[in-house]
Amino acid sequence: MSLVERPGRLARWLRRFATAGVEDLVLVNRPWPMNLHLPVDVLQIASLRTLYLGFWNFPDTADLPSGPAVFPHLREIGLCHVQINTVDIDHLLACSPVLEKFAFVLNCFNQFHIRIRIPSRSLQCVVFWMSLTKELDVVVAPNLERLILWQWISCSPGSYLHMKVRIGYATKLKVLGYLEPSINQLMIGSTIIESGTKMSPSTMVPSVSILALKVRFGVRKEAKMLPTFLRCFPNTETLHIMSQEADEPTGKLNFKFWQEVCPINCLDTHITKVVFDQFRGERSELAFLRFVLERAQLLQKLVVVWANPDPASADEMVAKLKPLSTVNRASDCPTLLIIAREGDITWCFQRASDLSVSDPFDG
């Protein structure tokens, strides 16, 4: 007999879990229906340390007790395709005083019209994986070290699928990405970051040392955001660039554009490693790589990952990269590695959310 026919059965299970002091709970509604409501009893298991929920309607928390006594030990929350409102997310955060990781997976919040706020003094990692909302706002998160973003789509100009990413008070943020100009509008403090935004201490996040960007070099407006994004993170040491194909190219940037780019602090004084993923050999991609080699004074390693893993295309890739061998390099001895990765992109949710991995973007 299904839970739809016996809705009280799950509630009884959850009460038993609370009595037994269960610490780790993964609760997935499978098979569907999608509109099945999660019993409120799940919020009364004070012993929980990890809680992962999949394919539920989250209970209304308006009349429930709040505060640190609700989930005094909870360190990890994951919501996969869970229908939940902003006030209920606020409730979870307010009830979890030692929470370290909050993961959102496959969530499209209320048709992209709500704002997800992250006020937490304990959170170390937020993962927004294949999820969209109107705004993801890191309000106050003094211990946040990682903000991981990953989407499965690219948006055409004029698309409504856009998400503002606001970084407020997050002085320990070290790892950020993948930011995408096609989807993400970056906001630092009260300033919306646009191409040509004048930099000041209020528009920069100096704590970030690992930055990942996903860019369609065939869309001129998006590629022009690269220098601005780099200026927002002046102490970046490792830069990951994932190149995406543009379904509707709108003009590519040539090397003349990059020659005229004003100094970028992280390239001049901090970046030691650049990984360029999904390289296709386009002139706009080569122009950017040449720019990096000519500007990055401390560069030690440039890794280029070929988009086509076919071994028969290796000679073609080497030929396309050959012009870089004559570039006047700013660094004395950068190492150039060429990789033909087999299969799909190896990055996955488990790696992205693993705090023991120093660089979650490095496959």
Inter-helix orientation angle 283-295/314-321, to 10°: 50
Q: Domain boundary at 80, 99, 118, which?
A: 99
Same domain, 39 and 133: no
Same domain, 131 and 42: no
Same domain, 120 and 69: no
Per-residue confidence (pLDDT) for residue 343, from 0 to 100: 46
Condensed to tens digits (0 to 9), the pLDDT of residues 106-150 reads 887 755 568 899 999 999 999 999 888 889 999 999 999 999 999
Residue 361 within a domain: no
Per-residue confidence (pLDDT) for residue 281, from 0 to 100: 87
Inform me whether the pLDDT recorded for 70 exceeds 60: yes
Residue 13 within a domain: yes
Residue 313 pairs in a beta bridge with none
Condensed to tens digits (0 to 9), the pLDDT of residues 24-62 reads 999 998 867 777 899 999 999 999 999 999 999 999 999
Per-residue confidence (pLDDT) for residue 260, from 0 to 100: 86
| 247 phi/psi in degrees, rounded to 5 | -65, -35
Same domain, 78 and 138: no
Same domain, 181 and 254: yes
Q: Domain boundary at 77, 99, 121, which?
A: 99
Average pLDDT of 184-211? 95
Q: Domain boundary at 31, 65, 99, which?
A: 99
Residue 246 within a domain: yes
Average pLDDT, the chain: 88
Check residues 158 and 240 and name the one with the higher pLDDT: 240
Number of domains the chain contains: 2
Check residues 251 and 236 and name the one with the higher pLDDT: 236
Same domain, 9 and 147: no
Per-residue confidence (pLDDT) for residue 147, from 0 to 100: 97
Condensed to tens digits (0 to 9), the pLDDT of residues 284-330 reads 899 999 999 999 999 999 999 888 777 667 778 888 888 888 888 88
Same domain, 211 and 264: yes
Same domain, 228 and 124: yes
Per-residue confidence (pLDDT) for residue 102, from 0 to 100: 97
Inform me whether the pLDDT recorded for 202 exceeds 90: yes
Average pLDDT of 242-246? 88
Least Cα distance to 53 among 121, 112, 102 occurs for: 102
Residue 359 within a domain: no
Same domain, 51 and 168: no
Residue 357 within a domain: no
Average pLDDT of 182-200? 93
Inform me whether the pLDDT recorded for 190 exceeds 60: yes
For the CA atoms of 268, 142, 22, 43, the dihedral, rounded to the nearest 10 degrees, stands at -120
Least Cα distance to 346 among 275, 274, 264 occurs for: 275
Per-residue confidence (pLDDT) for residue 112, from 0 to 100: 56
Residue 336 within a domain: yes
Residue 362 within a domain: no
Check residues 160 and 182 and name the one with the higher pLDDT: 182
The per-residue DSSP string of 148-162 comes to EEE-S----TT-S--
Per-residue confidence (pLDDT) for residue 1, from 0 to 100: 42
Per-residue confidence (pLDDT) for residue 324, from 0 to 100: 85
Same domain, 270 and 196: yes
Same domain, 38 and 150: no
Per-residue confidence (pLDDT) for residue 30, from 0 to 100: 80
Residue 18 within a domain: yes
Same domain, 126 and 66: no
Q: Which domain holds residue 261?
A: 100-352
